Structure 1
Amino acid sequence: MSIKIYGDPGSGSLRRVTAAASAMGVDIERVNIDLFQGESHSPEFLELNPHGLSPVLVDGDFVLYESAAINLYLAEKAGSDLAGRSPRERFEILQWMFWSGEQWRVFATLTFDEVLAKRFIGKPADESIVQLAAAKLRAAAAVLDAHLAKHDYMVGDRLTLADFDIAGPFSQNERTKIPLNAFPNLVAWQQRLLDTLPGWAATKREVDARIDGALEAAGIQL
């Protein structure tokens, strides 16, 4: 029985899972959930994730949501060292994954909700929220930029799951204009991932096609 991953192809969170699965050589079965059509709030999907968010993993009778948890699960299943080669390295990876959720991706998601998602329902962005999120992102990006001045990857000298978690906000930054391009080491690291990880480059194309297509269909110009 294959591992099913439910999600919308425009989701940066789904991207983190599908790209990591590709890097780990894990076969998954994609099940598309159209967020723009409200499919994540159907009774059937809410049985999988009561928050109405994707992605969701279903492996037999086991259901798991939250991208970081899904990636750790896939790494365990595959015996992949992307989750760490030693206890110390594993904890460093977990540190950055937890940091990403608390200090980083949450503000990128908040910006997306204000700048883009509200446009689809005809509401203006709350500029006070946008500016607050931008300030938080700049502060966090400064930490990342300093770290990446000395490292090619988030942990050690190789790709790990921490890189996928930290890279998530780059999925929408050109559309939401979050202040990532002002940090050269961060930008160079992201380009390194695109150049060396076919799955990361492929999922960028998938996200871009999905979101840009939805914007065009809705008549929204950024």
Structure 2
Amino acid sequence: MAIKIYGDPGSGSRRRVTAAAAAMGSDIEIVDIDLFKGESHTPAFLALNPHGLSPVMVDGDFVLYESAAINLYLAEKAGSDLAGRTAREKYEILQWMFWSGEQWRIFATLTFDEVIGKKFIGQPTDGTIVKLAADKIRTAATVLDAHLAKHDYIVGDRLTLADFDIAGPFSQNERTKIPLNEFPNLVAWQQRLLATVPGWAATKREVDDRIDGALEAAGITL
């Protein structure tokens, strides 16, 4: 029985899971959840994730949320080296995944909520929050750009789960205008992923079609 992944096709977090699953050859079944219609806050979905966020993984009677945790689970189940070939490499990957959650993706998500999310509910963007998030992103990106000046990938000069985790903010940066394009090594790494990881390129098209379509349907111009 395939592992089910519930989430909205416009979600950068779902993208991280589905793209990584494709790279690992994991047998998954994608179940679309329409966030714009409130489907992540139905009683049935909240029973899977009380936070009302996606993605959520269901493998038999085991339910797991948070993309990073899902990817680690899928890697172990598939016997994939994307989670690390050695103990040292594994901990380097975890270091960057934790870094991504605490110092990186959170500010990209905050920007999306302010710049795009609020438009769907008719609320004004708070420029102070957007600037704070941009400053935090620049601080983190400076470290990451210096790291990528010496490495083609985040860990070990090969694709790992750390790449998928840290690449998440690129899902919306052209719409939210977070300052990723200011960092040439970061941009080159992202282009490398799009050119060499078919699932990352395919899910970019999926996210773009979903979000751009939703914006057009709502009559929102960024």
TM-score by structure 1 length? 1.00
**DSSP-derived class of the 1:128 partner:** helix
Paired with 1:169 and 1:118, the residues of 2 have a C-alpha distance of 18
RMSD over aligned CA atoms reads 0.3
Paired with 2:115 and 2:124, the residues of 1 have a C-alpha distance of 8
Once the two structures are TM-superposed, the CA of residue 101 in structure 1 deviates from its matched residue by: 0.1
Paired with 1:19 and 1:45, the residues of 2 have a C-alpha distance of 23
Paired with 1:26 and 1:72, the residues of 2 have a C-alpha distance of 12
Once the two structures are TM-superposed, the CA of residue 157 in structure 1 deviates from its matched residue by: 1.2
Paired with 2:109 and 2:11, the residues of 1 have a C-alpha distance of 10
Which residues of structure 2 form unaligned runs of 5+?
none
Which residues of structure 1 form unaligned runs of 5+?
none
TM-score by structure 2 length? 1.00
Structure 1: which 4+ aligned runs deviate by more than 4 Å? none
Q: Which residue of 2 aligns with 1:149?
A: 149
The letter of the residue matching 1:104 is W
Once the two structures are TM-superposed, the CA of residue 72 in structure 1 deviates from its matched residue by: 0.1
**Count of residue pairs brought into register by the alignment:** 222
Paired with 2:144 and 2:187, the residues of 1 have a C-alpha distance of 10
Q: Which residue of 2 aligns with 1:126?
A: 126
Once the two structures are TM-superposed, the CA of residue 2 in structure 1 deviates from its matched residue by: 1.1
Once the two structures are TM-superposed, the CA of residue 220 in structure 1 deviates from its matched residue by: 0.3
Once the two structures are TM-superposed, the CA of residue 13 in structure 1 deviates from its matched residue by: 0.1
Q: Which residue of 2 aligns with 1:7?
A: 7
State whether structure 2 residue 99 is matched by structure 1 residue 99: yes
**Aligned pairs for 1:145-184 within 5 A:** 145-184=145-184
**DSSP-derived class of the 1:6 partner:** strand
1:101-154 Cα distance to aligned partner (Å, 9 max, x none): 000000000000000000001111111100000000000000100000000000
State whether structure 2 residue 101 is matched by structure 1 residue 140: no
The letter of the residue matching 1:207 is V
Once the two structures are TM-superposed, the CA of residue 204 in structure 1 deviates from its matched residue by: 0.1
Paired with 1:134 and 1:8, the residues of 2 have a C-alpha distance of 25
Once the two structures are TM-superposed, the CA of residue 27 in structure 1 deviates from its matched residue by: 1.4
